[in-house]
């Protein structure tokens, strides 16, 4: 019997192939693979059947235990319409979008599996994981699956969503912050009191004359250290253990080892009656590590909040306020506001259709360009683009700028969200740190210096950390985006900054970009129109957001435009509609069938009613001030071009601005503009296209970087990478230089952080740092990087005349 027990005691443990837990019952197996429960076996079989065993190649035992699987009927409430309406971001009856928070996401295997769930459920059209936020964005087909089935699938795979129909992202952030502050408070209180109780031992040279008093101090110190070790430091142990279970070395491991070594050594010295040990060092390590993480998380949260809720998003929508129609920034829209959406404009907030015929293109949301008709009283979702005549909506929900930004970035963000790079750097750095700790321990042990051995081994585990290196890029990019937004240039994603630094050629569209969007001289040339004809013409002009069409509408100064039917807008040609049984066209001579020759400078917009030419509007566009100085500054670094769909009447003027005429391209259709960008790229020239997003959407999308210029209007183009307010147009040279400055800041901060780690590691390996000092240096490194980044970005911002963040 004793031999049998010995065999059992020495036999190696069998670990679950899926989650890594110990298998107590070896009967649960599949092809010599053992599982701890039927749930883990079921998940493996699902993945194996669908050819997903690569999931197990990325990390060993990457799955989550299924021993405590949930009751399936738990999610029956997701079939209730009122619950679905709260959780779904979009639904048109065919396709629905949902964002779910999955706290179980922890490694690259999770990322890979969750982005393949569409192969496990054919009803799932698309899935994208935001690794750092632990969120997944899922698009599913309502005819093939449901929200309940999607959630049940995720739960079966071990990723049970955290559903809360009342609390939003901000509430989750507040809760996490509150927990962090509670831990900080407990760790700080215990650390301060342990330090105070340790002072008599320090001042007495290591012994207290009153033995009873000394033992009481030791007992109190031990009691104070327990909540620090078991509660405040728990996140480091949990993080390290998750890494070990997944056979992955993360940055929590060396910190956990340092805390464990210090606590264990202190317990040994206390029970051996050698003194109070190093409980003050242990508490100090935990407290200052938590301080460092709190500072990092607070900085990231502040930047994220600024980005999603406070940053300038230069889109305005025409709104009925106080008996007049005025442009209102989208972040200031309120529930029940009446907003006017023109042809090709994006709907910025969920609303109810109260006027007009809604011909909606949801490609910005769904990726499919299918026209959807909405009737009076029906709901229109944010992100839809109106393709017909003007409509009016009553706002149902406040604008979610973060949602619009996520839609904008849907086809742009890198799939790994930066997580693989962080994992790779963190893993390699941690292996080096553990190796150095072992070398230091062996060296000082051979030198018969156990005191220096403990110090060197503990402090190198604390002071050397890749967190600061990783913080440099993220925080600098966040500061740069914030300052650009303050100067009214809103960039969709930090990855765009890198692309901007590589630009060699800048292409400008003319109309609405180089010209003032709201300042034109308009003159009608032709036979005098009747009052009714003029009313119809100006009513047609009102339907389009093109700068020339808007100039004509303002010139007409009508107060009660007529409703239009069957409105159409043809890019680069013109617009047409039926008004009171009359067919009107407005646009180029070719589009309207006009043969009238233009003899004066300006742009001609021809008018045709029921096949009869009425004449044309001559629109003289006013160029922006400071155009010549801006071109001069840009030409020192970039090649410049101007492309336009207009006639070449302004060639002489623009030639003087550019000092060359060969880069001026006129009579270019939207397709010609696209081909021009492609030709530049074939010549290995990284291009920045700057237009108004109307007749140049294809060129904006094709270019390496695209900016859409806007002026108190809703001409947001999903194809662009940045939105620039017209008032900051003359700042383009400074803005581009500042982006390059941001790359310099990252390099400087990275070098500083690297040197900081080298110097700290040098003194740690020599045993010249105490654990408490090492723990102070760790958050000091993060804080100093945040301060250095802030100071350098502010310096460059002031140097470029962009002010402060």
CA gyration radius, the chain: 33
CB-CB neighbours of 648 under 10 Å: 13
Both structure tokens of 323: 């008996």
In angstroms, the Cα distances linking 596 to 528, 583, 589 are: 16, 20, 8
Sheet holding 124-130, edge to edge: 88-91, 95-101, 135-141, 124-130
Residue 734 pLDDT: 95
C-alpha span between 420 and 689 (Å, rounded)? 31
* pLDDT tens digit sequence for 275-303: 667 788 788 878 887 877 776 666 656 65
The residues pairing with 578 across neighbouring beta strands, listed in sequence order, are 565, 583
Q: What is the DSSP letter of 11?
A: S
Residue 606 pLDDT: 92
Q: Specify the higher pLDDT residue, 780 or 765.
A: 765
Q: Which CATH architecture has domain 481-510+625-735?
A: 3-Layer(aba) Sandwich (3.40)
C-alpha span between 626 and 539 (Å, rounded)? 35
Residue 227 pLDDT: 94
Best CA proximity match to 127, nearest among 117, 119, 141 = 117
Residue 521 pLDDT: 81
Q: Which CATH architecture has domain 325-408?
A: Distorted Sandwich (2.70)
Residue 415 pLDDT: 36
Both structure tokens of 196: 């105070």
Best CA proximity match to 75, nearest among 151, 141, 8, 134 = 151
Report, as an integer, the average pLDDT of 19-36.
Answer: 71
C-alpha span between 291 and 278 (Å, rounded)? 20
Residue in the block written with tokens 């959807």: 372
Residue 58 pLDDT: 52
Is 589:558 a contact under the CB 8 Å cutoff?
Answer: no
* pLDDT tens digit sequence for 51-78: 666 556 555 555 554 444 444 567 778 8
Residue 300 pLDDT: 57
The residues pairing with 665 across neighbouring beta strands, listed in sequence order, are 643
Please name the residues in contact with 776: beta carbons below 8 A apart, sequence gap of 6 or more. Answer: 284, 288
C-alpha span between 264 and 129 (Å, rounded)? 40
* pLDDT tens digit sequence for 374-432: 888 888 888 888 888 889 999 988 776 666 666 676 655 443 344 444 455 556 777 78
pLDDT(599) > 70: no
Report, as an integer, the average pLDDT of 534-545.
Answer: 89
Top-confidence range, 171-180, 587-596, 709-718: 587-596
Q: Specify the higher pLDDT residue, 400 or 708.
A: 708
Residue 705 pLDDT: 92
pLDDT(106) > 70: no
Q: Specify the higher pLDDT residue, 475 or 415.
A: 475
C-alpha span between 207 and 314 (Å, rounded)? 68
With b for 16 or more beta-carbon neighbours within 10 A and e for fewer, the 704-725 pattern comes to bbbbbbbbbbbbbbbbbbbbbb
Residue 671 pLDDT: 84
pLDDT(689) > 90: yes
Top-confidence range, 8-17, 95-104, 581-590, 711-720: 581-590
Report, as an integer, the average pLDDT of 123-131.
Answer: 82
Q: What is the DSSP letter of 689?
A: E
Best CA proximity match to 604, nearest among 622, 619, 592, 584 = 619
Side-chain-side CA neighbours of 65 within 13 Å: the count stands at 12
* pLDDT tens digit sequence for 435-473: 888 898 899 888 888 878 888 888 887 777 666 566 677
Residue in the block written with tokens 């018969």: 448
**Range list of β-strands (E), 468-563:** 489-491, 505-509, 515-525
Residue 37 pLDDT: 67
Q: Specify the higher pLDDT residue, 265 or 106.
A: 265
Give first-to-last CA distance, the chain, whole Å: 75
| Domain 79-166: top CATH class | alpha beta
Report, as an integer, the average pLDDT of 8-33.
Answer: 67
CA angle at 367 for the pair 365 and 373, rounded to the nearest 5°:
65
Is 163:87 a contact under the CB 8 Å cutoff?
Answer: yes
Which stretch of 298-312, 437-451, 609-623, 698-712 has the lowest confidence by average pLDDT? 298-312
pLDDT(646) > 60: yes
Both structure tokens of 803: 């002010």
In angstroms, the Cα distances linking 409 to 317, 404, 405 are: 21, 9, 6
pLDDT(178) > 50: yes
Residue 2 pLDDT: 45
Top-confidence range, 380-389, 612-621, 732-741: 732-741
Is 112:55 a contact under the CB 8 Å cutoff?
Answer: yes
Which stretch of 108-112, 196-200, 504-508, 722-726 has the lowest confidence by average pLDDT? 108-112
Residue in the block written with tokens 């999308």: 701
* pLDDT tens digit sequence for 510-525: 877 888 766 678 889 8
Average pLDDT of the chain is: 79
Which stretch of 156-165, 185-194, 282-291, 407-416 has the lowest confidence by average pLDDT? 407-416
pLDDT(732) > 70: yes
Which stretch of 202-206, 443-447, 572-576, 580-584 has the lowest confidence by average pLDDT? 202-206
pLDDT(171) > 90: no
């Amino acid at each position: 019997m004793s031999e049998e027990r010995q065999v059992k005691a020495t036999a190696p443990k069998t670990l679950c192939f899926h989650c890594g837990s110990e298998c107590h019952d070896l009967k649960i197996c599949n092809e010599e693979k053992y599982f701890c429960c039927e749930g883990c076996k079921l998940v493996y079989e699902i993945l194996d059947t669908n050819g997903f065993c690569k999931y197990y190649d990325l990390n060993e035992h990457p799955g989550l235990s299924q021993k405590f699987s949930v009751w399936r009927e738990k999610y029956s409430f997701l079939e209730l319409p009122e619950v679905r309406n709260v959780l779904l971001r979009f639904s048109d009856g065919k396709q629905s979008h949902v964002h779910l928070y999955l706290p179980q996401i922890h490694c690259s295997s999770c990322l890979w599996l969750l982005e393949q769930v569409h192969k496990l459920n054919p009803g799932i059209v698309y899935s994208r994981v935001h690794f750092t936020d632990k969120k997944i964005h899922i698009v599913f087909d309502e005819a093939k699956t449901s929200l309940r089935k999607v959630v049940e699938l995720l739960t079966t795979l071990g990723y049970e969503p955290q559903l809360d129909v009342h609390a939003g992202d901000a509430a989750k952030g507040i809760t996490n912050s509150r927990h962090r502050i509670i831990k900080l408070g407990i760790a700080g209180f215990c650390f301060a009191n342990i330090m105070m109780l340790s002072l008599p031992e320090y001042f007495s040279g290591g012994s207290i004359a009153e033995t009873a008093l000394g033992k009481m101090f030791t007992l109190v110190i031990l009691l104070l250290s327990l909540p620090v070790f078991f509660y405040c430091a728990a996140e480091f142990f949990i993080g390290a253990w998750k890494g070990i279970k997944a056979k992955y070395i993360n940055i929590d491991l060396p910190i956990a080892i340092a805390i464990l070594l210090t606590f264990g050594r202190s317990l040994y010295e206390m029970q051996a009656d050698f003194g109070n040990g190093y409980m003050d060092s242990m508490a100090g390590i935990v407290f200052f590590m938590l301080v460092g993480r709190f500072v990092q998380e607070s900085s990231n949260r502040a930047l994220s909040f600024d980005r999603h809720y406070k940053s300038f998003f230069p889109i305005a929508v025409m709104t009925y306020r106080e008996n007049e129609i005025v442009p209102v920034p989208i972040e200031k829209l309120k529930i029940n506001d009446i907003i006017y959406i023109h042809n090709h404009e994006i709907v910025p907030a969920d609303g109810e259709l109260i006027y007009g015929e809604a011909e909606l293109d949801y490609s910005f949301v769904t990726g499919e360009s299918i026209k959807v008709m909405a009737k009076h009283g029906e709901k229109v979702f944010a992100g839809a683009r109106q393709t017909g005549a003007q409509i009016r909506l009553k706002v149902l929900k406040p604008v979610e700028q973060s949602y619009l930004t996520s839609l904008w970035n849907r086809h742009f963000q890198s799939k790994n969200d930066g997580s693989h790079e962080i994992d790779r750097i963190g893993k390699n750095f941690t292996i080096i740190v553990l190796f150095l700790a072992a070398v230091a321990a062996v060296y000082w042990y051979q030198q018969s210096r156990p005191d220096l051995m403990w110090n060197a081994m503990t402090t190198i585990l604390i002071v050397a950390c890749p967190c600061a290196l990783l913080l440099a890029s993220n925080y600098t990019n966040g500061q740069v985006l914030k300052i650009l937004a303050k100067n009214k240039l809103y960039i969709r994603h930090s990855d765009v900054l890198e692309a901007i630094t590589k630009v060699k050629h800048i292409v400008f569209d003319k109309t609405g970009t180089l010209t003032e969007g709201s300042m034109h001289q308009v003159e009608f040339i032709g036979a005098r129109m009747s009052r009714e004809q003029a009313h119809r013409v100006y009513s047609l002009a009102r339907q389009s957001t093109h700068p020339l069409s808007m100039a004509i509408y303002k010139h007409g100064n009508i107060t009660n435009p007529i409703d239009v039917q069957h409105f159409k807008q043809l890019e680069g040609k013109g617009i047409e509609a039926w008004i009171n049984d009359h067919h009107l066209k407005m646009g180029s001579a070719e589009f309207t069938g006009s043969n009238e020759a233009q003899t004066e400078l300006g742009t001609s917009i021809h008018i045709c009613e029921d096949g009869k030419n009425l004449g044309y509007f001559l629109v003289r566009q006013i160029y922006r001030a400071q155009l010549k100085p801006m071109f001069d500054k840009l030409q020192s670094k970039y090649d410049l071009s101007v492309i336009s769909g207009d006639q070449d009447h302004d060639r002489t003027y623009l030639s003087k601005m550019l000092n060359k005429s060969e880069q001026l391209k006129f009579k270019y259709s939207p397709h010609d503009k696209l081909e021009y960008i492609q030709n530049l790229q074939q010549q290995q020239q990284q291009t920045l296209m700057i237009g108004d997003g109307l007749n140049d959407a294809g060129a904006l999308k094709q270019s390496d970087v695209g900016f859409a210029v806007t002026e108190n209007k809703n001409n947001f183009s999903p194809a662009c990478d940045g939105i620039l307010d017209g008032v900051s147009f003359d700042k383009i040279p400074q803005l581009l230089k500042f982006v390059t400055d941001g790359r310099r800041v990252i390099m400087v901060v990275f070098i500083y952080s690297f040197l900081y780690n080298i110097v700290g590691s040098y003194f740690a390996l020599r045993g010249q740092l105490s654990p408490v000092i090492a723990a102070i240096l760790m958050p000091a490194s993060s804080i100093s990087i945040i301060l250095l980044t802030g100071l350098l970005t502010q310096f460059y911002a002031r140097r470029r005349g962009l002010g402060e963040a």
